[in-house]
Amino acid sequence: MGNIERMYELAVERYAARGVDPAAAMERLEKTAVSIHAWQGDDVMGFEHANHALTGGCQVTGNYPGRARDAEELRADLDLAMSLIPGTKRVSLQAHQVDWMFPGVDRDAFTVENFSGWLAWAKARGIAMDIAPAFYSHPMLDHGFSLSHPDKAVRRFWIDHGKAVRRIGEAFGRELGSASVCNFWAPDGFKDIPADRLSPRLRLSEALDECFSEEMDERHELDAVESKLFGLGAESYTVGSSDFYLMYAARNNKLICLDSGHFHPTESIADKLSAITARQGRILLHVSRGVRWDSDHVVVLNDELLGIGAETVRCSGGSGIFICLDYFDASINRVAAWVIGARNMLKSLLIGLLDPANAVRKAENEFDFTTRLALMEEAKELPWSAVWNYYCLKRDVPAGADFLAGIRAYEKQVLLKRN
């Protein structure tokens, strides 16, 4: 018996004394899918090969070698990353991460044929795919506006793009046997104080209604809408604010997407999960890490992430909550960024699943707040890492930081050879 197994056996004894079954926790974790965001691997550049400037508030910093230059390279990078991440994985695309561009076909006319390589790749690996329209980094993002632009022709281009991507998502879901989550985020907003806050929101609402006018079978495609507090060039006013989208999602039976970088720096989305679950229902999480602003740093195991993991577990056992990562860092190895962030997301969920919640809730229901505080603090000392390492071992994934060896070898053999 190795050290990992011995440490796990000791952990099982300690958790049993708190009424927790680590084996059951690992079983639940295995069934919780995390969607790996493909745009970490290409710095949100996409593969349209039209040299579109990165616009719409997206900011990627760093020039670490090895950025994926086409979909084939990106898939190879994802293959390595997913081999180092335990559990159930999905992959999420931005709609400009196409396999093929056809003459005369722009984003407003994309079909699943533009993504045929992605579909074949996902089928071969038995994974599901999510997708999001790319309402940015394109000449038709005019003065920072897309779906809420005052010009009907501009709005029409982006509405048709939204419709096209929903059809692609539906095809993904039908072919892969799991509903594709199609997330709508638009960067529209003003840098300075607007004279008219209402009109852009009315236009956005009408545009979204048209985007969603084609009924989709929810067994194949699910719609989500995502808010933002502010963005680069939209510091004073964002059309798609939290209030706007929360109301829109509730009235139109859409998932509300909560991005942990899209709120005030001191505002945690963990508290929002129970409030929305109690009333509106389904949530798409975009898990990121903002540092002073929506900077999309790699997810670390901090208090914010621990809160998100715990509340995801507590809110109907995670049912109705869909998890996707959303960060991009070009200052470090991009494959490592995927692996570190995804493993931290899974660790936060595992810690939540291992929480001795029954005893803590019993104390709370009896208004014994002293015991509640004592038990919650003692839980922080429980040996969750021994369970995590055992979980990795049993799924043939490196424990600890041993995953770095494979990444370094791939960097030397593949990434450093890319121009």
Considering Cα of 26, then 336, then 229, then 140, what sign does the dihedral take? negative
Burial degree of 276 (CB within 10 A; 0-12, 13-18, 19+):
buried
Q: What's CA 306's distance to the chain center, in Å?
A: 16
Q: Are strands 283-287 and 237-238 parallel, antiparallel or unpaired?
A: unpaired
279-310 CB burial, b ≥16 within 10 A, e <16: ebbbbbbbbbbbeeebbbbbbeeeebbbbbbb
Catalytic residues: 185, 226, 228, 259, 262, 286, 294, 296, 326
Q: Are strands 255-259 and 221-226 parallel, antiparallel or unpaired?
A: parallel
Q: In angstroms, what CA-CA distances link 212 with 25, 258, 395?
A: 38, 20, 40
- Terminal-to-terminal C-alpha distance of the chain: 46
* Residue ranges of E strands in 175-281: 180-184, 189-190, 221-226, 237-238, 255-259
Taking the C-alpha atoms of residue 235 and residue 218, their distance in angstroms, rounded to an integer, is 35
CA dihedral 412, 413, 416, 419 (to 10 degrees): 170
Taking the C-alpha atoms of residue 33 and residue 127, their distance in angstroms, rounded to an integer, is 10
Residue 282, both tokens: 């389904």
The structure tokens 């079954």 sit at 21
Burial degree of 156 (CB within 10 A; 0-12, 13-18, 19+):
middle
Least Cα distance to 418 among 39, 41, 137 occurs for 41
User: With contact defined as beta carbons under 8 Å apart, do 334 and 410 qualify?
Assistant: no
Taking the C-alpha atoms of residue 54 and residue 330, their distance in angstroms, rounded to an integer, is 14
Q: In angstroms, what CA-CA distances link 327 with 50, 134, 286, 290?
A: 24, 16, 9, 9
Burial degree of 191 (CB within 10 A; 0-12, 13-18, 19+):
middle
